[in-house]
Amino acid sequence: MLSEDPTKKSLTELGVTDAVQLAHRFYELRARFQRELARASEGEGWERLRDEWVGPEGSVQSRILANWIRTAPEHLKAGLVQDLQNFINEVFILSAVLQPLDQLRATDAAKIESQFRNLRGLFDREVKECRDEVDLGITERFWISPKSGVLKHIAANWRKTAPRDLVPSIGREENKLKAHITREIAERRATLESGAEESALARERIDLSLPGVIRPIGSHHLIRQVFQEIEDIFFSIGFSVVEGPEIETPYYNFEALNIPEFHPVRDDMDTFYLELPLFSDKNAAKTPLLLRTHTSPMQIRTMEKQKPPVRVIVPGKVYRRDNPDATHSFAFHQIEGLAVDTDITFCDFTGTIEYFVKQFFGPSVKTRFRPSYFPFTEPSVEFDVSCPFCGGTGAAAAGGTCSKCKGAAWIELFGAGMVDPAVYGFVNYDAKKVSGFAFGIGIDRLAMLKYGIDDIQVFFQNDVRFLKQFP
């Protein structure tokens, strides 16, 4: 057995590099000691065994000092010394309680008491060293395990072999020691637990002085901001907002707006039809679906739903099969406007538009309209605004022509007109009693003009460097 004694080798040779492996080595030593102890019979056997393990020379202890501790890596040294100390204690304790009392020369009550006092001192030292629940469990088992604890050995070896007159004082001391051990262990356990709690609390404490996770608050997209600006202007004169579907039927997008199937203006609105099952439209006909080419279908949907007076604006996205360039995109934004009542005149129409344009671009701009054509308005017009950037002069302040209006002094704004009486026929309004106007403002163009943006594509790229400029 000694030939394979691990204490003859260094920790490096044993491949022990951490505290867990070290603890395992001590566990093996302890088991070996207990086996040998069980075999050693009384008297001389004890003495020899004790010398073999903890004697001053050639003992397990001296080998541990020489082979393990001296060459141990620095981070293991302190723990190693402590482990050895505990181990030596155990050897002393066990070798004492495994002998009959007379071998220890405890022949009267006073000497018995002093034996118990020694044990208690050793226990007290040990329990104080317990750093965690695992240590404590080992100590607890070592002292009071019903099978092989120190107290069990005392009962078996000391009390059983004692002269009758000493038995009662041994029993009393046993009880005192057991009560002491039980109490101390419970106390130590409580301390460890609250300590564990405290250190966990200290570890997990929230440091309120640390900066938090910063989630930047975004802002509305410039298009959304322009929508809002325009909505506010129309709110102030009694319009309300309605929204409608971006997927439409040809009926709402075209027919009800007085654009029959082979009408040439459909060419301008060459658009996206969806590969979806045919849809039963309002008139129960099976029709394909398309992405709306303008917000005007909402004129029809609104008038279908409500009787005059109608005063609505319709912000939204629209789609056309346009090739993207600096001024074209397959998706863009419009605000539709519609006012219908029994007495709406062309003056109300131009007055409303002028009010809006002055609110949006500033009071000094002028408006004008030119005749135009839309199938659903009659007469139809194109509204222009005097260029707000050059003051309607067409000349740039720094000389040369104004880059916004290209020297024209006017900027084309949007299409509009008085609602064509034919449209009322589609929504069961009496064309003889009602009149109204409608307009369709391209938001992207307006935003580009007002904020000096020269490429419509930036609205759809979501580049934060662009978006951040409009907080």
Q: Which residues bind ligand PHE (CB under 6 A)?
A: 294, 296, 336, 374, 377, 415-417, 438-440
Nearer to ligand PHE, 271 or 296 (CB): 296
Rounded Cα–Cα distance for residues 420 and 228 (Å): 29
Nearer to ligand PHE, 239 or 439 (CB): 439
Query: Rg of the chain over CA atoms, in angstroms?
Result: 49
- Which amino acid, residue 9? K
Nearer to ligand PHE, 149 or 315 (CB): 315
Rounded Cα–Cα distance for residues 413 and 370 (Å): 11
- By beta carbon distance, the residue nearest ligand PHE is 440
Rounded Cα–Cα distance for residues 294 and 320 (Å): 9
**Under a CB-based contact definition with an 8 Å cutoff, are residues 302 and 312 in contact?**
yes
Nearer to ligand PHE, 388 or 440 (CB): 440
Nearer to ligand PHE, 252 or 374 (CB): 374
| 107, 115, 116, 157, 373 from 100: Cα distances, Å | 11, 12, 14, 5, 123
Please state the closest distance from residue 362 (CB atom) to ligand PHE, in A: 24
**Under a CB-based contact definition with an 8 Å cutoff, are residues 390 and 397 in contact?**
yes
Please state the closest distance from residue 367 (CB atom) to ligand PHE, in A: 16
Supply φ then ψ for residue 153, to 5 degrees: -65, -40
Please state the closest distance from residue 328 (CB atom) to ligand PHE, in A: 14
By DSSP bridging, strand 331-341 and strand 435-442 are: antiparallel
**Under a CB-based contact definition with an 8 Å cutoff, are residues 425 and 432 in contact?**
no
Please state the closest distance from residue 455 (CB atom) to ligand PHE, in A: 21
* Nearest alpha carbon to residue 297 among 420, 423, 463, 464: 423
Please state the closest distance from residue 350 (CB atom) to ligand PHE, in A: 14
Please state the closest distance from residue 318 (CB atom) to ligand PHE, in A: 7
Nearer to ligand PHE, 251 or 439 (CB): 439
Please state the closest distance from residue 397 (CB atom) to ligand PHE, in A: 33
Nearer to ligand PHE, 297 or 392 (CB): 297
Please state the separation of Cα 251 from the chain's center in Å.
Answer: 47
Nearer to ligand PHE, 27 or 346 (CB): 346
Please state the closest distance from residue 268 (CB atom) to ligand PHE, in A: 8
* Nearest alpha carbon to residue 138 among 201, 191, 185, 192: 185
